[in-house]
Structure formats: C-alpha cells, structure tokens
Amino acid sequence: MAPNIVEFPLSQKRSASAMVESPCDDCAIREASVCSVLKQDELIRLRGISTIGHLESGGTVFHEGDPAEHLSNVIEGSVKLYKLLPDGRRQVTGFLFPGDFLGVALNETYAYSAEAMSKLRICRFPRRRLEGLLNELPKLEHRLLEVAGNEIVAAQDQMLLLGRKTARERVASFLLILRRHAEQRRQQLNPVDLPMSRADIGDYLGLTTETVSRTFTQLRKDGIIGLPAQGKVDIRRRDALENIAEGA
Amino acid sequence: MAPNIVEFPLSQKRSASAMVESPCDDCAIREASVCSVLKQDELIRLRGISTIGHLESGGTVFHEGDPAEHLSNVIEGSVKLYKLLPDGRRQVTGFLFPGDFLGVALNETYAYSAEAMSKLRICRFPRRRLEGLLNELPKLEHRLLEVAGNEIVAAQDQMLLLGRKTARERVASFLLILRRHAEQRRQQLNPVDLPMSRADIGDYLGLTTETVSRTFTQLRKDGIIGLPAQGKVDIRRRDALENIAEGA
DNA sequence: GGCCGTCCTTGACGTAGATCAAGATGCTGC
DNA sequence: GCAGCATCTTGATCTACGTCAAGGACGGCC
C-alpha cells in the first residue's frame, strides 16, 4: 500500500541565513521553472520562504478539498492531478514533470488531488507568504500569469478532446502531447517515456483501461507506433498521428 | 446569415483627453469586472487604451488562430467560445456574460473563436498596450491572475464533466452552473435564463442536440425542472439536481 | 531464478448516447 | 393571421465504447 500521508522532512531550515549553500545554485530545474525570471537577489527572497519536500511513489501531495497551504515547483519526479466523483469515477486533469508549477489556481482549498507517480522532490512555498512576495516580485507574478494562460489553453484543448474526439483521436493526441513535452524538456524522443499506467491514461482521456490498451495495439498493428517495452512508446509515423489527432 | 466579420465602430477616440465624459463613470459592469480593483486615477490610465466595440447577434468577435490583438470586458450581451475540428465537430469551451473578461490566456493567437449570442457591447484593450500597462498597474495584474485561477478551476470541473459524467449528470451540472452565475449577477433565479440553443448546450456538454433535449424532458417529467418557455428553465428541486450532478 | 502481485492485453457481450428521420412548436415578418 | 424557417422534440435504429471475464507478461523480492 502506498503511503497516503504527506511526509515532508525539511532538508533546509526556514531562515535563509542559516543555510551555508544556496539550494538554488545547483537546482536542476531553476532555468526551466518560474524561477528563471528572477535575478539573484530576487531569487534569494523567494528561497527565503521555500522548503524542500520529498515523497515516495504513490504518496499523496494533497487531497482535493484540503486547505491550500502550499504551491510548489516540481524538482524531480512526476505528479498526476485528479478529481473524483463520490462513486469513485476519476478524471485525471494533468500530469506534472520537473520544472512544472503546481497550484497556479490560488484558491482557499485545492480543487484536485495530487499524487506522486514516482519518487518526488518538490520546492514548496507557503501560499500566503508567496502571495505577499508577489507584490514585491512583479516579474514572478507576470510569469505566473503566463503559466496560468498556458494552462488555460491546454485545458481548452483537453475539453475539445474529451467532448468531441474518438478514442483513437484521443490516444493519438495524447502521444503527441507527450512528445511535445519531451521535446521541450530535451529528453529522448524515440521511444518517448510513458511514466503513467494505462489506467491513468484512461482517466486522463475519459476512456477505460481496456479501450486505451486496445487502441495502442491497433496503432501498433497499423505501423504508426511501436511498443518496445513497458512505459515506452516509439512514434514511427508522427504525421499519421497528427492526422488522426486532428480528426482528418 | 449572421455577419462573420467583426465590425467595431468606435464610440470613443483613442486619446482619453479628447473625451468630455468618462465612459467608465456610468459603466454598468465596472464593479463586476476586473476594473473594480482600480482606483480612479488608475482607471483613467486603463480607459486611455480602451475602445468600445459593438456587434450584432451571431457576429464573430474573433476566430481561432487570428493574431490576438485585443482583450475585452463584456459590457452587455453574451458570448460563446468554441474550438472546431477540421470536419466541423465543435466544442464550446465557455459562455461569457456582462462583467466577464475575454482573453486571460494572453497568447500570440487566439486559441478559440468567440461569437456574440446576442447584441454585444464590449470594452476592448489592445493586448500589447495592456501588457505594458500591467507593469504599472500591479493590482490589475493580480486581479487577472485571480481571474485566470478561477478559469482553471472551472476548466477542471468541465474536464470531469466531459470525461466522466453521464448525460443526465452533465445537464444537471450545467443547470447548476447557470443558476450559480445568475446568483452572482443578482439576476432572477427562477426561472433561470438560458440564452443559448440546445445545439450550443450540446457542444458545451459533449452531447448532441437530441440527447440534451431528451434529458431536459426527462428531468421535466421527473418534476425536477420546469420548461415554462423557450430560453427559460425553472429549477423546481435544486437538491435533486445537486445530487444528480455529483453522481449520487 | 522462481514466485507473486500488478499491470496489460484480449475476447464476448451490453448499453448509453449517436445517428437518421419525421413531426411539432414557436418566432418573424408581412 | 398566416407563410416560412429555426429550433426543439420524439421515435427507431446503430455503434463506439464500456463492462465483465480470463489469460499473459512483466518486474520486484527473497
């Protein structure tokens, strides 16, 4: 059984001055995250309110409905976000990877649950203190608005997918999203990494595990993708995927 | 045939000083819109870059893919936002009403089309100039981040609806959304106004016109709603709707 | 290196909602 | 008041995907 309780041993003290070395200096995702817009002195201020959190795979970062106390940057590992209906039906609303920001929608409570899909390391900011800092770091606020805008655009694409695309179109779209993300992160493109289960993919695409599986094999038989190993997809004919994804 | 070309006779000159009376003073939606966070002198600066646009019902404000030149506040009338697949399948991603902000997702091109559902009046801001102003009006930027956050939360609810809810649950959720909006706008609650066609509702909920219609009649026969007239829905048993919407 | 649990795949069948096809209703303009 | 067109409703049928049910394959652990 996966641990359901958040455990965050702090690897860093609250007071910035108590730290010998800045954890930001060798932060692998500094340039890929919202932090990239800050200058050294601004970064120090942000660092002043940050703590590092660790979580095992399967652990829950927070639950839908919990008071929203922290926003975070994903440093290492990946996260799935989801909403549940009372009877257990689940909709995955997104997957996060290193450099992604968790919690742009600053509300009093979390609107979704967040669960680690692998060993996870995040950089956490108390919401109220970050909100205060935003007044003094307009560049950060500007960047967050940009991030929020991107998230809205992605959400609208997802609505089109969920409301109007067929299973085959959904899976094709999903593979292309993954590929695009891998590209942005300068990860290997072929085969592309697929760190989530068929069930997670299904809950993201509004399909069942079985339909996802069937659609993968169908695409494989059509020579469009290869399935070399668990958690890997080889994109053989990207053009074909693009066509399918757009319903052409 | 509805006009497909945007026509924006300016009712106001570019130069703010040229205006005798401030159009903001008697703006009906000032307190309900993003402008509410601004003080008088700040409002004057924002007004300096704004123009008023008019559009007939059915007119297109902009098309998906057009260069994003303006953001707007809806002053009067209502708007539907939608995305199309090449073969004509349509997903309505949202409906806007007076006081709503059009275009938080500040990108180079519009990610969706916007069409007037009734005679429309909007207050438009050139994107680049607004972006420039944001540096000087941090309160406005803060407010936009808030608006964007709300939009993300709503989008995630919609993903749950589109990915996992049944037709009956979708329609019930939709009616409750409408009711909530009417409440916020202090409009009449019973019967609630339904300014969009069955086809628009279907494209918003990922259903066909026929299924929407059938579901409405089913809810009526169950005594949960009444359909007193075209474009009106009487919510008879709100609790029942809430239960259905949550899948209980 | 073999055992066990989880995840994935495949098959047979069922069903919610789509599609196709008429009507009914209601608004618009004369 | 009525012709004409939109929109909405209702019915009959079809189908993509879900559900239920077995296997099969991987990978983690001793």
Which residue ranges make up each domain of chain B? Answer: 16-137, 165-245
What sign results for the dihedral spanned by CA atoms A135, B106, B158, A198? Answer: negative
Residue B193's CB is within 10 A of a number of other CB atoms, namely 17
> In whole numbers, what is the pLDDT of chain B averaged over residues?
90
The answer to whether domain B16-137 and domain B165-245 are alike in fold is: no
pLDDT in tens, chain B (248 residues): 333 334 443 333 333 333 334 568 889 899 899 999 999 999 999 999 999 999 999 999 999 999 999 999 999 999 999 999 999 999 999 999 999 999 998 789 999 999 999 999 999 999 999 999 999 999 999 999 999 999 999 999 999 999 999 999 999 999 999 999 999 988 888 899 999 999 999 999 999 999 999 999 999 999 999 999 989 999 999 999 999 999 88
Burial class (CB in 10 A: 0-12, 13-18, 19+), B218: middle
Instruction: Please judge whether B247 and A160 are an interchain contact, meaning their C-beta atoms are less than 8 angstroms apart.
Output: no
Instruction: Please judge whether B145 and A145 are an interchain contact, meaning their C-beta atoms are less than 8 angstroms apart.
Output: yes
pLDDT digits (tens, 9 = 90+) for A101-126: 999 987 899 999 999 999 999 999 99
By a Cβ cutoff of 8 Å, what residues of chain A touch chain B?
Answer: 83, 85-87, 89-91, 93, 104-107, 111-112, 134-135, 138, 141-142, 144-146, 148-153, 155-160, 162-165, 203, 205-206, 246-248
Class of domain A16-153: mainly beta
Dist CA B63 CA B82 (whole Å): 9
Most B CBs within 10 A among A96, A110, A140, A156, hence the mutation to make, goes to A156
pLDDT digits (tens, 9 = 90+) for B163-195: 999 999 999 999 999 999 999 988 888 899 999
Residue A71 has pLDDT above 90, yes or no: yes
Domain B16-137 architecture: Sandwich (2.60)
A:161-200 Cβ neighbours of strand C under 7 Å: 197-199
Q: What strands lie across the sheet with B79-84, from one edge to the other? A: B60-62, B113-116, B79-84, B90-96
Strand C nucleotides, any atom under 7 Å from protein beta carbons: they are: 7-12, 16-21, 26-27
Residue of B nearest to A94 (CA): B156
Angle at alpha carbon of residue B17, lines to B11 and B19, rounded to 5°:
35
Class of domain A165-245: mainly alpha
